[in-house]
Amino acid sequence: MQAFMHMIGVFAVRFRYAVVAVWVAAAALAMLFLPSLASVTNPDNTSFLPSDTGTAEAIKLAAPFVPPGQSSATMVASRTSGKLSSSEQSAFRQLESSVAKLPHVTSVTDQGVSENGMAQKAQIVVDVASSSPDAGDVVDDIRDTMSSTPHDSAVAEHLTGSIAISVDNQRSQEDAQRLTEILSNVVILVMLFIILRSALAPLITLIPPVLVLNLSSPIIAEAAAQGDIDVSSVTHPMLTVLLLGAGTDYGLFLVLRMREEMERGAPPRQAIVKSVERVGESITFSAGTVIGALLCLLLASFGLYSGLGPALAIGVALMLLAGLTLLPALLAIFGKALFWPRKLKPHEHEPDSGWIKVTHHILERPKTTLVVGVAVFLALSAGIFGYSSNGFGGSTNGPSGSDSAAGTAALEANYPPAVVNPTVVLFKYPASVWQDLSNLNNAENDLAGKSVFASVNGMFNPNGTPLSVQQLSTLYAELGPPGKLPATPPANSPVPADQYAAYRALSQFVSSDGQTVQFYTTLKAGSPDSTAAIDAVPDVRAAVTDVQKSSGASQAGVNGLAPASYDVSTVSNSDLTEIVPIVLVLIGILLGVVMRSLVAPLYLVASVALSYFAALGLAVIVYIGLSGEDGVDFVLPFLMFIFLMALGEDYNILVMSRIREEAHSMPLRRAVAAAMHATGTTVTSAGLILAATFGVSAITGATDEIKELGGSIAMGILLDTFLVRVLLVPATVILLGRWNWWPSALSHRPADPPKPGGTRGAPTSAPPKPGG
């Protein structure tokens, strides 16, 4: 492996200008000719659910209202005082007619005036999904039409609903993403300046991850456009922090080793080749663990994970290639100037005095260090017992200050709660419900009587206005199905205009064939994005099934944020239990290969697992115990495991590879001391940079979920860096002695000499040979 890395180093140094030119050209061409990652991002997490979940089945059942592949928006006009006049209502209907003529608009359904008379709304269905690249243009066209259509200045008009909220959130996330990238780069540069104490080296170290981020994003987007990868709202922020953080880590490993070799007298180019030869293997296997863990996500049944894994793996693979070729080429171009104004004089590399003290403590008290460290981690892990999850099924409101947020506020002020943010109950009947409305009325009353529902709105109380069975039967006999009526009543219509408009609005509750009916409900458990509401979903579905049977419906379903979040959380937890063992085995195998040992991988994997549980427990303590949230996001346990397991092994590989390298020429205790002196600053610096990068997303993330995920991973990386890697792992190595390397040849080297006082730092007997 080292010979191969030596060849790569020589190639990158010899053809340095060509290597840099190829990378720059590749990034430029990708950015020019491939789509952006934001353009293919699907913000709807429910779309990633398996087809056999309750939410997916409910979405199919709702097809008569919003056909598959299409999406809806709600246009609302409202006054802050006084009722809408007849002329203002007429102007709104004229606006509906204008919007209906726009490209991509398949239907506009007036949904009536609110009970207080101060608002009027309409549903707009378009033939593009919320995740479509055309969604923004469609929403802009509708809003342009709204602003250009004359209306009274006292009437405020807004566009909200799923596609409008999605577009507004996506644009807000793009702004937050740009801010995250800028601040991450600033934070990384500041920390690199402090660590490297030079003017040029920090900039050169940061170039490869920035370039790879700009190259990998369009490549992933192109794969998504071809249907090979699903891109969720988590993909872009996680790709950014992963590449900037891990890429800087890889660069730091190489630059610090180059500086070390130059301090020992090697010329710059020779130091670069030597660094690639020595550190390249560690970087390769470090990236390999991350890539392997991410590709395990292909086994997930939840599309958010199975799409996230290969997307991030592409980025990490490109980052590895750049770390082995682009960075050495850049280092070779600048040579000694990298470390200006610091002058590197040939002398034996001097270890940091702080690490001498830390290492001395570990060498003197390995058992105490290990026991106390494990006790601290177990205490933090106890926080898991307070774990509960909340939803990430999708946003029900636009960002603050947006048009969609203002529209939602207008709905909340004028319509029943169930109309604004409903949990939708759907029934499908064998025949048209218009044949027997009393049966449907009983179904609505039965739903309202169920203890799980706080309110129910349907055909018999649209917008909060009660209608009787007799009234509806009469209107149906005179007008026919409400969904087929024109916007204004015919000249000879026997029905007053206000009743005509109210009846026409019923098309939001009953399909054109009369067989599918939906009800808007609110839950007794609380807001649909709360943990209590999510936990109540099984009871809600059981109640709906009871009403389905009593009303003679052939199918039933429940849709909305709470049921979607419940299904997403259930599928996610199932994936967690199935994929975790596979990831552990895969990383163990990779560690076994790089360590040439069957023993070391066992405690290295165990150390990261312990770190993960401690970090998850700490996240529960911080976000639930201290911040007062009713749960942490459902993706947190799964993605924390993948990131901390993979990234934690990065530092394991760097430290253990250096210990193994030193152990070939000195006793184990001295090898541990030498490795800690050499890698201590590197590991802690890399850990701080990686944690800071994730920490930036905890501040600038576009959603609370991204902030929570970034903050939790940052806490886990800090625990792993400052406790596991610099305390627990070295202490374990010392206690196991040469058993660390069994069954490789290194395990048969003589034991460490006795310490003063007659104690030994490692077992004196050689490990048994396989089969012996």
Cα separation of 516 and 430, whole Å?
Answer: 9
pLDDT score at 155: 93
pLDDT score at 769: 40
Q: Where are the alpha helices (DSSP H) in 101-161?
A: 135-148
Structure tokens at 366: 């390995």
Residues 202, 339, single domain; the answer is yes
Structure tokens at 600: 């070391």
pLDDT mean by block of 10 residues, the chain; 772 residues: 89 96 97 89 81 91 86 92 89 91 90 88 89 87 92 90 87 82 88 89 94 95 89 86 87 89 89 91 85 89 90 95 96 91 65 64 84 91 84 64 92 83 92 90 92 90 79 88 79 78 84 92 88 91 95 93 88 86 87 87 88 91 84 80 76 82 85 81 82 86 79 88 82 89 80 49 39 35
Give me the count of residues in the chain: 772
Residues 676, 735, single domain; the answer is yes
CATH number of the domain residue 127 falls in: 3.30.70.1440
Question: Does a structural domain hold residue 516?
Answer: yes
Element of type H or E holding 126: strand 119-126
Strand segments, DSSP code E, in 265-396 are 389-390
- Which of 323, 344, 365 terminates a domain? The answer is 344
Q: Checking phi first, is residue 112 left (phi over 0); if not, alpha (psi -120 to 50) or beta?
A: left
Residue the block writes with tokens 């290990």? 370
pLDDT score at 34: 94
Question: Does a structural domain hold residue 191?
Answer: no
Contact 322, 204 (CB under 8 A): no
Cα separation of 444 and 442, whole Å?
Answer: 5
Residues 611, 726, single domain; the answer is yes
pLDDT score at 391: 58
pLDDT score at 328: 96
Three-state DSSP at 424 gives strand
Question: Does a structural domain hold residue 401?
Answer: no
Residues 328, 361, single domain; the answer is no
pLDDT score at 351: 52
pLDDT score at 762: 40
CATH number of the domain residue 674 falls in: 1.20.1640.10
Cα separation of 453 and 447, whole Å?
Answer: 7
Contact 648, 691 (CB under 8 A): no
Residues 127, 158, single domain; the answer is yes
Residues 523, 606, single domain; the answer is no
Domain count, the chain: 4
Residues 557, 668, single domain; the answer is no
Residues 623, 525, single domain; the answer is no
Question: Does a structural domain hold residue 493?
Answer: yes
Residues 221, 309, single domain; the answer is yes
Residues 536, 663, single domain; the answer is no
Domain carrying residue 230? 1-33+197-344
| Nearest Cα residue to 48 out of 422, 530, 564, 421 | 564
- Which of 314, 344, 374 terminates a domain? The answer is 344
Question: Does a structural domain hold residue 192?
Answer: no
Question: Does a structural domain hold residue 425?
Answer: yes
Residues 1, 129, single domain; the answer is no
**Bridge pairing between strands 389-390 and 632-633:** parallel
Question: Does a structural domain hold residue 531?
Answer: yes
Question: Does a structural domain hold residue 722?
Answer: yes
Residues 632, 705, single domain; the answer is yes
Q: Checking phi first, is residue 511 left (phi over 0); if not, alpha (psi -120 to 50) or beta?
A: beta
Three-state DSSP at 582 gives helix
